[in-house]
Amino acid sequence: HTLLALTPEGLLLLLHEPTLVVRLLNPLTHQLTHLPPVTALLSPEQSRSRRCGLKLRVMVSGVGLVADSSLAVSFFNPLVLAVAKPGADSWTVAHNDRMNTTLPFVGRFYCTNYRGVMVLNMGSDQQPPWLHLVADRSKSFNFNQMSQSLHLADNGGELMLVHRIRSQYIRRYDVYRVDLKAGVLVPVKGFNGRAMFMGMGRTISVSAHNPFPCVAPDTIYMAPECDGKIQGYNIVDGRVCDLIGAACPRSIVDCIWQGTYLSLNLSLRTNDGCLL
Can you give the CATH number for the domain in which 5 is found?
Answer: 2.40.10
Question: Which pLDDT value is given to residue 266?
Answer: 39
Low-confidence stretches of the chain (pLDDT beneath 70): 125, 211-213, 228-230, 242-276
For residue 39, being part of any structural domain is answered with yes
Whether residue 69 lies inside any domain: the answer is: yes
DSSP code of 184? Answer: E
Whether 122 is in a domain gets the answer: no
Cα 262 to Cα 163: distance, rounded to the nearest angstrom: 21
Model pLDDT for residues 19-65, shown as the tens digit of each residue: 999 999 999 999 999 999 999 999 889 889 888 888 888 999 899 98
Cα distances from 81 to residues 200, 226, 230, 239, in angstroms, run 18, 23, 32, 37
Residues 6+ apart with CB under 8 A from 19: 37
Q: How many CB atoms lie within 10 A of CB 142?
A: 9
77 falls within a domain: yes
| Structural domain contains residue 64 | yes
Q: Identify whether 117 is part of a domain.
A: no
Q: Provide the whole-model pTM.
A: 0.83
- The gap between the terminal CA atoms of the chain, to the nearest Å, is 11
Backbone angles phi, psi at 39, to 5 degrees: -55, -40
- Give the pLDDT score at 147: 87
Q: Which pLDDT belongs to residue 53?
A: 84
For residue 201, which of 24, 76, 70 has the smallest C-alpha distance?
76
CA torsion through residues 3, 6, 10, 12, sign = negative
3-state secondary structure of 69: helix
Range of the structural domain that residue 42 is part of: 1-95
Q: Specify if 2 maps to a domain.
A: yes
- What total number of domains does the chain contain? 1
Q: Do the domain assignments include residue 72?
A: yes
